[in-house]
């Protein structure tokens, strides 16, 4: 009997390796539906329900500029409604991608101070909703060296504030300096806080090798954005080698959620999300 059990486990393990199904953990990025939300066909409050009922995904990633109105992050009534929707559909809030709150890397100290404090409300909103992180940008005007120095200060102070709420502050490669890991990683190291990290996005690279860049970023990753644009007839992403990219992610030992983020235009948002999910699950 013991030998039979061992043999059965071996078969199941081999089958798992062959099919690639190794319990991939998926979350759903709200940016996948930015067209529907910005056109009024869908709202931020609809997002948890749609994630669960249409895609059977129980973890969501919000986008601050898609909330229902400026300042809604400070509206506890609104946040309670959103949290109630999550509870109703058994959905976990994972993170908030924060945009439009100023440059943490501004070389003007007054502008940088304002950007830091503008992010505070999103830290508090993330805590209320049960998120583990807010995603921020490392932007600013000036030379790469000047912006880097400024970002270390702005990001560091924001991380200090967020640590009081047990919230991570993670930087996405969001074009510009931040898409160069040789610029970004020294920032994370200089901030030197356990709640500071990165969110590698598969798509946001232009002047560097995306695969090497993600490999460099993964040791500091507290989230991953599985970006997609379009697919060929076989279901492969046309710009990103997903088997290669996911191999890098797995090799790093990363075991948290992969955020499904469709940013294409040829397919509908629903179709794009489903195609991305299928590709990730087949390659994992």
How big is the chain, counted in residues? 284
Q: What are the chain's domains?
A: 22-101+118-137+168-283 (3.20.20.150)
Render pLDDT for 223-235 as a digit per residue (tens, 0 to 9). Answer: 999 999 999 999 9
Give, as one character, the DSSP assignment of residue 237.
B
CA angle 199, 98, 143 (to 5 degrees): 75
Instruction: Report the phi/psi class of residue 78: left, alpha or beta, with left for phi > 0 and alpha for psi in -120 to 50.
Output: alpha
Question: Strand 258-262 vs strand 26-29: parallel, antiparallel, or unpaired?
Answer: parallel
**Which residues share a beta bridge with 27?**
259
Give, as one character, the DSSP assignment of residue 26.
E
First-residue to last-residue Cα distance in the chain = 32
Q: What is the mean pLDDT of residues 3-20?
A: 39
Query: Of 70-79, 82-91, 139-148, 247-256, which gets the smallest average pLDDT?
Result: 70-79
| pTM score of the predicted model | 0.91
pLDDT at 127 over 60: yes
CB contact at 8 A, 32 and 259: no
At 22 the pLDDT is 58
- The Cα 235–Cα 55 span in angstroms is 18
Confidence class for position 68, pLDDT limits 50, 70, 90: confident
Element counts in the chain: helices (H) and strands (E): 10, 8
At 20 the pLDDT is 42
Q: What percent of the chain has pLDDT over 70?
A: 92
At 69 the pLDDT is 77
At 1 the pLDDT is 45
Mean model confidence pLDDT for the chain: 92
Render pLDDT for 77-97 as a digit per residue (tens, 0 to 9). Answer: 999 999 999 999 999 999 999
pLDDT at 277 over 90: yes
pLDDT at 9 over 60: no
Mapping DSSP onto H, E and C, the string for 187-233 reads: HHHHHCCCCEEEECECCCCCCCCHHHHHHHHHHHECCEEEEECCECC
């Amino acid at each position: 009997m013991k030998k039979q059990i061992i043999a059965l486990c071996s078969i199941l393990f081999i089958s798992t390796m062959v099919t690639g199904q190794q319990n991939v953990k998926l979350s759903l990025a709200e940016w996948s539906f930015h067209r529907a939300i910005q056109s009024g066909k869908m709202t931020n409050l609809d997002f948890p329900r749609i994630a669960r009922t249409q895609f059977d995904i129980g973890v969501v990633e919000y986008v601050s500029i898609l909330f229902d109105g400026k300042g809604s992050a400070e509206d506890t009534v609104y946040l309670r409604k959103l949290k109630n929707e999550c509870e109703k559909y058994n959905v976990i809030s994972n993170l908030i991608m924060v945009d439009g709150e100023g440059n943490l890397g501004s070389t003007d100290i007054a502008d940088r101070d304002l950007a830091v404090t503008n992010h505070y409300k999103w830290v508090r909103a993330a805590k209320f909703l049960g998120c583990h992180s807010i995603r921020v940008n490392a932007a600013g005007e000036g030379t790469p060296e000047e912006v880097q120095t400024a970002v270390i200060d702005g990001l560091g102070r924001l991380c200090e504030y967020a640590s009081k709420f047990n919230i991570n502050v993670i930087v996405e490669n969001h074009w510009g300096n931040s898409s160069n890991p040789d610029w970004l990683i020294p920032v994370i190291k200089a901030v030197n806080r356990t709640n500071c990290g990165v969110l590698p996005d598969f798509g946001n690279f232009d002047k560097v090798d995306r695969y090497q860049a993600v490999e460099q970023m993964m040791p500091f990753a507290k989230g991953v954005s599985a970006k997609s644009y379009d697919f060929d007839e076989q279901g492969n992403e046309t710009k990103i080698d997903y088997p290669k990219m996911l191999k890098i992610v797995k090799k790093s030992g990363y075991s948290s959620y992969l955020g499904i983020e469709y940013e294409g235009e040829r397919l509908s948002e629903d179709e794009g999300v489903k195609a991305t999910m299928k590709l990730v699950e087949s390659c994992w």
